Structure formats: structure tokens, C-alpha cells
Amino acid sequence: MKTSFAKPGLPTTGIVVVSANAGSKLSATASKLNKKTGGALTRAIKASNFEGKKGQSLNVMAPAGTRLDRVMVVGLGKADEVTELEMQKLGGRIYAGTKQGIKGTVAIAVDAVKDVKMSAGDIAAEIAYGAQLRSYRFDKYKTKQKPKDKPKLKSITLHCTGFAKARKNYTRLGKIANGVFFTRDLVSEPSNVIYPDTLAKQAKSLEKLGVKVQILGEAQMRRLGMGALLGVGQGSIRESKMVVMQWQGGPKSRGKEAQPVAFVGKGVTFDTGGISIKPSAGMEDMKWDMGGAGAVIGLMKALAGRKAKANVVGVVGLVENMPGGNAQRPGDIVTSMSGQTIEVLNTDAEGRLVLADALHYTNNRFKPKFMVNLATLTGAIIVSLGSHHAGLFSNNDQLSERLTKAGTEVEEKLWRLPLDEAYDKMINSQAADMQNIGGRGAGSITAAQFLQRFVGKTPWAHLDIAGVTWSKTDAPTVPKGGTAFGVRLLDRLVANHYEKS
């Protein structure tokens, strides 16, 4: 979808979007259009329950005195409700409400709002960003779609004062959207298309944006002693991979200022559960068990695309967890890169084994300011938090607070759960240094305790995104399907605290 910005004005044909504040108070442009139509907008408002509240909209079809197809009046709500996030949601709703417009174009009139700090240009950029996020579709394998089922909207034009600033702001936001779309594509692809080698190649494509990408194969990982990660993939004919991505947009020196921040992703491209095989019902969903890796790859695209002034490392461990003659068995003991041994009691608790080596490798090689890992790690987190929050576990209060705030700002919400010595004891093993499960209770917490054993004293946070990586319903800026949860959150974290001007 093409997005453009122009000076204030309204076209004479097609679909036009105007706004109203709480109390049905029309914006300046809406008032002019109302006069031009002989009061058609106010009559329609009086005949409806539209009150200008946020989330409300009203359509006036083919208003008299014009050649317009439709006028869509959208509610902004109260002044304190005109925020970046709400304007993004508004953009998503506008897209959803106009995507089947016959002419394929929409003009949005954006006026300044009294008592709101955001300028008309700022508001326009956020609306455009929200519309872009909502426009995502994954339909590349549908060969018999009827034209009426495809969106007709090809372009939107936002008319506002300060349109040059709006265009500049949207250029930056659009790069973040590109990262979100990249992640959604990767998560949506079937596992016969995305597997460790092909996912690594997708990450390799970021080199054209200036990201340095290194791909480790099994022989290299074996020499490094990554027995935990390699054990997960040994039952598959697909070779396991680790991808290391580096973006150096910050200081080039060797001091603390140049110390990178690091993001680590679980990339199980398909998870059968291995020998501890999952029930067949719903197993098709396990194509998105690489959602953590997908988010890290998309984040690196977003950061590089907008030329973030930060040094960032992204590391993803890529495996396929399959049963087979060479598959890892329950009861096997593996040695991780850290030298710690792990008794594998359940081969379906495999993501933590992948992350154990990925976290230790990242920490040992790059000595980052902090590490944040993302993983569709446990079904237990879905029982705890459903699909509305991701689980947050951390050894550092400041990092937790910054992550939580960033998540609230982009509506990728986190809820912190405890880490404690009592939970840690639950994964002690009689035969090895630890076991990979801790029993029936506190499954998400014991998984986090397991990961903590591989991060040392480095500030670290674990995001369990099992409940938020895929959505079965539409939201204003997130159509159903792959959500790319984590890309916007971590981009905001970097922007808020770790970029050097």
C-alpha cells in the first residue's frame, strides 16, 4: 500500500475520512465538509449513536452536493486520548473500514487537536503507521482467491499542516513496519519452506542493510561444545544452525560506550516434541515455534532500516525437533557450551536447551550490556497469562522496568513473574548438574530458572511469548495470524535508552 502526505485539502471524489472529538465536535475540515454537504454529517450524527468517542466511526454514503463515494467520520475521543498509540489504532481501523473501497484510494484529513501536544503532522504519521501495520496479509499460497475477497485499497493520502515533517516521521516508522512484516512473513511460512537453513538465509539478506551476518553450522557448533543445542536437532535431516547478526550504529571504540546490547531468539522451526511427541491435534501450530528467532531477525531489520544509533547483536539458534532413529532420548545427558551438564527428561522441553548454548555463546563472545531472549517457551505461560501479556522474568529490576514501559507504549504488554532459589532447586538433577524440566507446577518459572543458569551476572530478561506470537482474532494494528510480538517493543527499548545522539 502506498502512503503519501500532502497539504491540507480534500479531493472531490472517492472516500474521505474526517474526525470529530468527544461530544461529536467536528474538526475544522469536517465542519467545512459538513457545510458543503448541506449539514449531511450533523444529520447523520444526530440519527446515530456516534458521539466522537475513540473507536467510534460513522459512514455517510454519497453525501448530497458532492461526488464523493463516502465520508467516514472517526472519533478521536477526549484530548488526553489523542496519543501515539491511539492514533496508530485509529489508522488500523481506518484501513479496515476502507480497504474495500471501489476506487482503491482514501484521503484522510488530519487537523490539529486543541489541548493536544502532538501536531497535525505527528498525528498523521502515527495514523499512517497504524494503517500500514493493519494492511499486512499472508496470502501467497492462495491461488483461487476471488477479486472481491482481496483488499482494493492501494493508496492513502494524509492531508495536514506540517506534511513534510509527517513524511519524515513516517519514513522512520515505516522501517519499523518493514521489520514487523518480515517477522510476520517468517512466522507465517510453513515448515517445509522455513527450516534452519532457509531461515538462516533469510537472516543473511539483512547484509544489504549493513548488518554483519555470520552463520554457524553443526561442525562449528560442535567444536564450540554446543551439546545442548545440537542434541535437539539430531533427530532431523535438517542441519541445525546458529546465526549471529551485528549492527554497529553506535560508537566504534572498544570501551564501555561501544558495548552492545544483545537479543537472543529461540528458533525451533518445527516442534514435534521429539521422542516425547506432542498430541497430533494442533501440532500444525508448531511452525511458529521459531517466533522468538523471527522477532530477533525482524528487530535487526527494523534497527538497521532506520539506522539506529546503537550497537546491537542478534543471535538465533535454529533447529528442527523431530523423532527419528538418531533423535535425542528421554534420559540422555548432554554437555552445554558452558560445561554444565543437563539431563533431558522430556525432549519436548527443547527450547531451553537451544537457548542455553545461544545465551552462553552471546555472553561469552560479546560481553553485552544486557541480554534479552525471546522464546515461545512454555504452554504454562498461556495458562497463566492467556494471549494478552507475555511473561517476563529477569535478574535485573531496571531492565525489567524499561522493558515493561516500552511494552506498554507499543501495546506489547509484559507481566513480570518471580525467580527464586526455591524454584531453582526444582531443576536439580540426581544424575547431572540440572534437568530440563521441574515438574508439573510453575512450569514457566522453572524454565526461566533453567535459562538463568547460563547468563552469569549479566543483566538478563527472558520473554516467554508462547501466548502472543500468533493471534486468532484481528486487533486494530495486528491482523490475525503472526503478530511479530517483540519487534516494536524491543525497538522502543533501544530507542528509549540505548541510542547515542
| Consecutive H or E run containing 313 | strand 311-321
Please identify which of the residues 352, 402, 453, 492 carries the catalytic annotation: 352
Specify which residues 317 forms β-bridges with: 242, 266
Check if the beta carbon of residue 174 is closer than 8 Å to that of residue 132: yes
At 5, the amino acid letter reads F
How far from 497 is each of 168, 262, 344, 371, 393, CA to CA, in Å? Answer: 22, 14, 39, 14, 20
Q: How far apart are CA 35 and CA 46, in angstroms?
A: 16
Report CA Rg, the chain: 25
* Percentages (nearest 5) of helix, strand, coil residues in the chain: 40, 20, 40
Residues written for the chain = 501
Check if the beta carbon of residue 348 is closer than 8 Å to that of residue 276: yes
Active site residue 472: no
Report the SS3 class of residue 483: coil
Q: How far apart are CA 222 and CA 297, in angstroms?
A: 24
Torsion over CA: 321, 323, 328, 332 (sign): positive
Active site residue 352: yes
- DSSP codes of every residue in 11-31: -SEEEEEEEEETTTEE-HHHH
Please identify which of the residues 278, 309, 369, 413 carries the catalytic annotation: 278
How far from 402 is each of 336, 437, 484, 490, CA to CA, in Å? Answer: 31, 30, 20, 10
C-alpha triplet 191, 192, 197: angle, nearest 5°: 85
Rounded (10°) CA dihedral 477, 483, 484, 488:
30
Q: Could you give the residue numbers annotated as active site?
A: 278, 352
